[in-house]
Amino acid sequence: MKNKIKLLETFENQNPERDYRVTHSAPEFTSLCPKTGQPDFAVIVIEYIPDNLCIELKSLKLYLNSYRNEGIFFESVTNKILDDLVKVCKPRYMVVTAEFNVRGGISSTVEAEYIDEKFVDEKQF
């Protein structure tokens, strides 16, 4: 399997002196249930406060699309996305929320959060 993190690209934050929030929403995320092989559909919302780097959107789209044929649990994919994004862009703060569609009468939302401790400010979060 191709190393997905290589798909992610960044660019320099033009305003690193300021804390501001960036929110990306991917309403067409799909992966596969590792038990049944059936598709799972979700809205993935990525919210972050950049430090020196921002996430490039085309690479983010390709990265998220790379899960289309991968069998992975909701919790695992949400945490993997967060880990990969934090590794490449080193934000001050990031939260990934995955809102999975109803299956078998149950919908699931998974939220994974990262806070760079050197930028902690209770008012921000």
Catalytic residues: 33, 40
Residues 49, 10: Cα–Cα separation, whole Å? 14
Beta pairing class for 53-55 and 106-115: unpaired
Which strands form 106-115's sheet, in the order they lie side by side? 22-32, 39-49, 93-103, 106-115
**By the 8 A CB rule, do 101 and 60 touch?**
no
